[in-house]
Structures are given as structure tokens and as C-alpha cells.
Amino acid sequence: MEYYILLSPFVIGTILGLINNPSIENNVDKFQNLLSTRKEKITPYSGKMNRFLIRPFLWFALKIKEWTNDIAHPGFKSGLRVSLYLYLIELFLYLFITLTMLIIILVVVGVILWILGKILASASDTETTYKYRKTFYKKDNDLTDHVGLRGNKIYSGTNWFNEELKGRVDNDGNIYSGTNWLSEEKIGRIDKDGNIFQGTNYFNESKVGRIDEDGNIHKGSNWFNEEKTGRIDDDGNVYKGNNWFNEEKEGRTGI
């Protein structure tokens, strides 16, 4: 394919030169006059396209006319000019396509680097936040304050229209079932580390699960037999399920 592109201007110019038809010479002269007129029109403009592409092309094209003026044979002169014009067009098209591809590559690389920078910055922020939270929970802070349990009521339901009050957690972490103060009864408690105990007092209670610092709810009495059964988000919404794909909202905590 490259050979055809390189040889075609030479072949076309040779054929036109051998034909040696006055009409060919007239058309070439008209084309050159058009180039001269075009050069005069764009001279006042200083755009980048004119400056770096159109003006250089017209300059070389008009130079071809000057370089070939002394050739006596009209057919050979016209054929040579046509060949040189075609080679000039091929050269500038190649340069234009190459520069365009280079600009596109630079833009794509820039976008990729920008996205990577955003991802790395986000990861850095997440790591910083995580370290802060880990440090925060090492102090004497109450984990259940973070997950939105203490001092809040517990509702079941997927939305405001079908939810119903099931119980509450007081400011000391005690869990009560019931819809009001008259019908409620204590069924367990949550300590400041997020451990969940079932029972009405310290003597008959047993650990049944825990809530970690991310709001994940685990069922089990220790690390070896526990399993994730749900989570509580930052807004107090309670979800049932062991991952994001199979979880579904089953209630919320709030006032």
C-alpha cells in the first residue's frame, strides 16, 4: 500500500507529461493562480491552522511554480508540477494525521493519569479515614453511638409507610422490645465495644453477636463461630444479608 502512495504521484505526472495537452497546462495554471489568491486572502489571519498548516503548504506550492518556470517543454513542466503538488499534499496530510494522533494520545494519557490520580487520592483519603476511625475506636468511645443505636428506637419495615415500632435501645445500651413504656421488656444489651448480649440481667445473659466499627452485624458468641447477618449504615438503616448483592432493608433505628 505504501508503494502505491509513493509511486502514484510520479505515475500520474508522467502520464500527463506524455499526453502534453494544452488543456492540462491551462488547468495547472488555474490551480496555481487559485493558490496565489488563497495566499493573499489568508495573509491577514494569524490562526494556528493558518500559521502552521495552510501557510507552509501554500508557500511550498508556490515555490514549486517558481522552481519549474524555466522548463521549456510545457507537457513535462505540467506533469512535473502535478507530481510535486501531489507529493506535497501527501506530505502535509501525513504530518496532519501524525500530529492529530499525537494530540489524541497525549489527551488520552492525560485523562488516564488524571483518573489514576483521583483513584490514588481517594484511596489515600480512605486509608486516612480508616486509620482515624481505628484510632478513634481505640479510645473510650462507644461503638454503638457510631452505628446509631443508643438512645434510638428500632423499627421494622422497608419504608416509612409499612414500618412499625419493635423496641428501643436506651442510652446505656439496654435493648427493650415493645411499642411503649408500659408494654416493653428488656431482652438484652449492647456494650460499648458493640457486643450484643441476650438476657434480662448480668446473671442470665449470653453473647449472641456483635456490631463492628463499620456497622456490620455478626451473629455468634465468638470470632470462630460468628457469621455476618446484616449491617447498619450511617443513616441508621438496617439491612439483612451477608453482602451487598443479597442484602435487603428490614428496618431502621431512629427517634
pTM exceeding the 0.75 threshold for the entire prediction? no
How far is Cα 238 from Cα 252, in angstroms, rounded to an integer?
5
pLDDT value of residue 2: 65
Domain count across the chain: 2
pLDDT value of residue 143: 45
Paired strand residues for 234? none
pLDDT value of residue 127: 54
pLDDT value of residue 1: 57
- Domain contains 79: yes
Residue whose C-alpha cell is 515555490: 63
Paired strand residues for 251? 156, 238
Cell numbers at 107, concatenated:
489527551
Successive 10-residue mean pLDDT values, the chain, 255 residues: 73 83 83 81 71 80 84 85 88 89 94 87 56 43 56 85 88 88 89 89 90 88 88 87 87 85
Question: Are residues 175 and 82 part of one domain?
Answer: no
Closest CA relative to residue 69, chosen from 88, 87, 84: 84
Question: Are residues 148 and 216 part of one domain?
Answer: yes
Whole domain around residue 181: which residue ranges? 144-254
Domain limit, last residue, from 48, 70, 102: 102
